[in-house]
Amino acid sequence: MLMLNVGHAVHDADWNFEKVNSPFSRIYYVTKGEAGLKIGETLYHLTPGNMYMIPAFTEHTDICHGVFEHFYVHIYEDAASEQELIGRFDFPVEIQGTALDAALFRNLCDHNMAMALKFSDPKIYDNKHSLIECVRLNRERPLFDRLESVGIIYQLVGRFVRFARPKFQITDARVEQALKTISSNIDEVVTVDSLAKEACMSKDHFIRLFRKDLGETPAQFIINDKMTRAKLMLASENMSVKEIAFSLGYYDISYFNRLFKKHTLLTPRQYRTCFNKDL
Question: CA 1 → CA 24, 78, 152, 245, 267, distances in Å?
Answer: 10, 6, 11, 23, 28
Q: What is the pTM of this model?
A: 0.78
Across the strands, what pairs with 46? 35
Contact between residue 221 and residue 210 where contact means Cβ atoms under 8 Å apart: yes
Mean pLDDT of the chain: 89
pLDDT band at 279 (very low <50, low <70, confident <90, very high): very low
Per-residue pLDDT of 132-172, as tens digits, reads 677 777 777 788 888 889 899 999 999 999 999 888 788 88
Contact between residue 60 and residue 20 where contact means Cβ atoms under 8 Å apart: yes
Summarize the confidence of residues 1-18 as an average pLDDT: 93
Query: Looking at residue 218, what is its pLDDT?
Result: 94
The CB-based long-range contact list for 151-155 (8 Å cut-off, 24+ gap) reads 152/104, 152/107, 152/108, 153/1, 153/3, 153/73, 153/75, 153/108, 154/1, 155/104
